[in-house]
């Protein structure tokens, strides 16, 4: 019997776990009725708690009657249906999306709400599942729909049999390998009376046109097994996508930092610049998921982000949806939102303590941040001016002496790959525009500069040094 086949298929999917609390998306239509009825048949043996959820989108005059029918079906199965009413047209207007998109948003938001209430009641998260009734024919239609819209290989893998919801609950599709014909056989054999959504028979929506016009045309004129061919294509795409995604996930783990100081996400592209686009596009996709931009992403946007990775330009930026912005500084891309203060601020708690001593008395505390210079060389250049030394951030005209000539502080920061928005945070000891010491900072690229800073060679201590100018930096607290 087809009934046994459907139930066996659900069990074989491995999606149903003993002791689960399953929120069942239940429109009362053939697909969701088949799923709910099948789950009810195995509920005792699997110790399942079923929570049918019906949502009236207020789109059709008969919707109220269908809600009552759904509740009656649940009652006959010994289940209590949780019914919700939401004005889908109003939601679509507010969100500026189609009623289809608004309906999907509403459904999954309500499923998450019900799941969250179970969590609040003490049900462990891992025991909570959300079951939706997409079937094998829906999978075929989804692949064709995405192909027509120009999706990438990830989209061509179709719908996943299991995925996380926006709040981290697992959404499962127990009927994903069951065809519509098998579902209809199940309904007939069990003498069930589903709701019939008349809007599914029309061609008002793109998906309905694919279901009712395009696929029948392809079956008649090109391939009578087009649905199966599309599903096989999706399975192959899913296999390839999973392989590439695993590689991308491994790389991403080492180059993505979430919520670093002052940013939402930080991406190190030093290794990614040599990776193929298939890997990097998925890493960008992960970041968009982290930022909640997956639904507003586009091929053009991902392509622009890829251009930022592969560009020879070490400094660039890109505006992203929802007020986010991506900024590249050398081998790092920073993702920030509009509420984040981009500029790094200097540490105002630090104070400078200069002192002069004989070289024989020079025994610096290695636990303290310090710099030491030949005092007599300094005094020859700036007689009696130790008191004019300042601890400050950069100013126009600042330079640091080199072994030959001098270098502008701006050029030093560029050569040391200090990102733009951190350059005004680096502290330095200077007299006038001459910089003796740029204090250590994590924003330097070189490890020595991160730990010691950058010193002027003009007043280096040598074997002939008699007096030392010691400059210590400490927290004023």
Is the pLDDT at 303 greater than 60? The verdict is: yes
Give pLDDT, residue 388: 95
Give pLDDT, residue 477: 44
Give pLDDT, residue 261: 65
pLDDT digit string, tens, across residues 229-248: 999 998 888 888 888 888 88
Q: Which residues pair with 129 in a beta bridge?
A: 22, 170
Q: Poorest-confidence range of 157-171, 187-201, 446-460?
A: 187-201
pLDDT digit string, tens, across residues 272-302: 999 999 899 889 988 888 888 876 777 788 8
Mean pLDDT of the chain: 89
Give pLDDT, residue 111: 96
* Rounded average pLDDT over 14-39: 95
Nearest to 407 by CA among 449, 435, 443: 435
CA 363-385-448 angle, 5° bins: 45
pLDDT digit string, tens, across residues 206-230: 778 898 899 999 999 999 999 999 9
Q: Which has more pLDDT, 382 or 341?
A: 382
Q: What is the DSSP string of 77-122?
A: TT---EEEE--HHHHHHHHTS-HHHHHHHHHHHHHHHHHHHHHHTT
Give pLDDT, residue 330: 87
Is the pLDDT at 33 greater than 60? The verdict is: yes
Which range has highest mean pLDDT (48-57, 146-155, 290-299, 321-330)?
48-57
Give pLDDT, residue 237: 85
CA distance 36 to 398: 74
User: Binning pLDDT at 50, 70 and 90, where does residue 476 land?
Assistant: low
Q: What is the DSSP string of 220-279?
A: HHT-TTHHHHHHHHHHHHHHHHHHHHHHHHHHHHHHEEES-TT-SEEEE-TTGGGS-HHH
Give pLDDT, residue 371: 94
pLDDT digit string, tens, across residues 59-76: 888 888 999 999 999 999
CB 286 within 8 A of CB 249: yes
* Rounded average pLDDT over 159-169: 89
Is the pLDDT at 22 greater than 70? The verdict is: yes
Q: Is 421 helix (H, G, I), strand (E, B) or coil?
A: helix
Tokens at 80, concatenated: 């209590």
Give pLDDT, residue 223: 94
Give pLDDT, residue 340: 56
Percent of the chain whose pLDDT exceeds 70: 95
User: Binning pLDDT at 50, 70 and 90, where does residue 317 land?
Assistant: confident
User: Binning pLDDT at 50, 70 and 90, where does residue 475 land?
Assistant: confident
* Rounded average pLDDT over 451-455: 92
Give pLDDT, residue 56: 93
Q: Poorest-confidence range of 231-235, 334-338, 347-351?
A: 334-338
CA distance 111 to 53: 8
Handedness of CA 394, 328, 258, 288 (dihedral sign): positive
Domains present along the chain, CATH in parentheses: 2-231 (3.40.50.620), 259-336 (3.30.465.60), 350-475 (no CATH)
Tokens at 213, concatenated: 């016009």
Is the pLDDT at 269 greater than 60? The verdict is: yes
Percent of the chain whose pLDDT exceeds 90: 58
Give pLDDT, residue 198: 57
Give pLDDT, residue 262: 63
Task: Count the residues in the chain.
Answer: 477
* Rounded average pLDDT over 350-371: 90
CB 41 within 8 A of CB 145: no
Is the pLDDT at 177 greater than 70? The verdict is: yes
Is the pLDDT at 104 greater than 50? The verdict is: yes
Is the pLDDT at 358 greater than 90? The verdict is: yes
Give pLDDT, residue 297: 74
Q: Which has more pLDDT, 92 or 152?
A: 92
Neighbours of 157 (CB within 10 A): 23
* Rounded average pLDDT over 261-268: 81
* DSSP type of residue 61: T
Phi/psi at 400 (5° precision): -125, 130
Is the pLDDT at 263 greater than 80? The verdict is: no
């Amino acid at each position: 019997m087809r009934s046994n086949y459907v139930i066996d298929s659900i069990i074989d999917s491995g999606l149903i776990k003993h002791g689960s609390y399953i929120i069942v998306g239940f429109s009362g239509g053939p697909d969701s009725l088949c799923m709910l009825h099948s789950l009810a048949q195995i509920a005792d043996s699997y110790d399942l708690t079923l929570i049918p959820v019906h949502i009236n989108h207020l789109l059709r005059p008969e919707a109220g009657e269908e809600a009552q029918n759904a509740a009656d079906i649940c009652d006959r199965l010994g289940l209590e249906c949780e019914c919700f009413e939401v004005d889908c047209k109003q939601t679509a207007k507010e969100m500026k999306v189609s009623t289809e998109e608004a309906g999907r948003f509403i459904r999954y938001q309500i499923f998450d709400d019900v799941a969250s209430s179970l969590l609040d009641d003490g049900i462990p998260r891992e025991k909570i599942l959300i079951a939706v009734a997409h079937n094998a024919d829906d999978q075929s239609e989804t692949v064709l729909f995405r192909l027509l819209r120009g999706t990438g290989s990830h989209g061509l893998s179709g719908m996943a049999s299991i995925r996380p919801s926006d709040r981290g609950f697992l959404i499962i599709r127990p009927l994903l390998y069951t065809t519509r014909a098998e579902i209809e056989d199940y309904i007939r054999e069990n003498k069930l009376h589903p709701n019939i959504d008349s809007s599914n028979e029309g061609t008002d929506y793109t998906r309905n046109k694919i279901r009712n016009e395009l696929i029948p045309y392809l079956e008649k004129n090109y391939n009578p097994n087009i649905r199966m061919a599309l599903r096989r294509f999706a399975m192959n795409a899913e296999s390839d996508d999973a392989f590439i995604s695993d590689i991308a996930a491994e790389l991403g783990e080492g180059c993505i930092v979430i919520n670093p100081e002052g940013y939402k996400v930080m991406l190190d592209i030093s290794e990614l610049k040599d990776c193929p686009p298939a890997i990097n596009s998925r890493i960008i996709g992960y970041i968009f998921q982290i930022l909640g931009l997956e639904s507003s992403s586009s091929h053009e946007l991902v392509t622009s982000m890829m251009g930022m990775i592969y560009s020879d330009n070490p400094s660039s930026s890109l505006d992203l949806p929802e007020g986010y912005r991506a900024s590249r500084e050398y081998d790092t891309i920073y993702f920030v939102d509009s509420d984040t203060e981009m500029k790094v601020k200097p540490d105002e708690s630090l104070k400078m303590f200069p002192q002069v001593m004989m070289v024989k008395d020079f025994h610096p505390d290695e636990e303290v941040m310090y710099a030491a210079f030949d005092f007599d060389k300094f005094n020859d250049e700036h007689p009696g001016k130790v008191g004019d030394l300042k601890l400050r951030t950069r100013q126009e005209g600042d330079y640091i002496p080199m072994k030959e000539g001098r270098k502008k502080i701006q050029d030093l920061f560029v050569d040391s790959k200090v990102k733009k928005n951190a350059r005004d945070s680096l502290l330095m000891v200077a007299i006038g525009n001459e910089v003796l010491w740029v204090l250590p900072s994590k924003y330097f690229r070189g490890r020595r500069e991160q730990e010691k800073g950058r010193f002027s060679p003009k007043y280096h201590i040598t074997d002939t040094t008699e007096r030392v100018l010691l400059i210590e930096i400490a927290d004023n607290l």
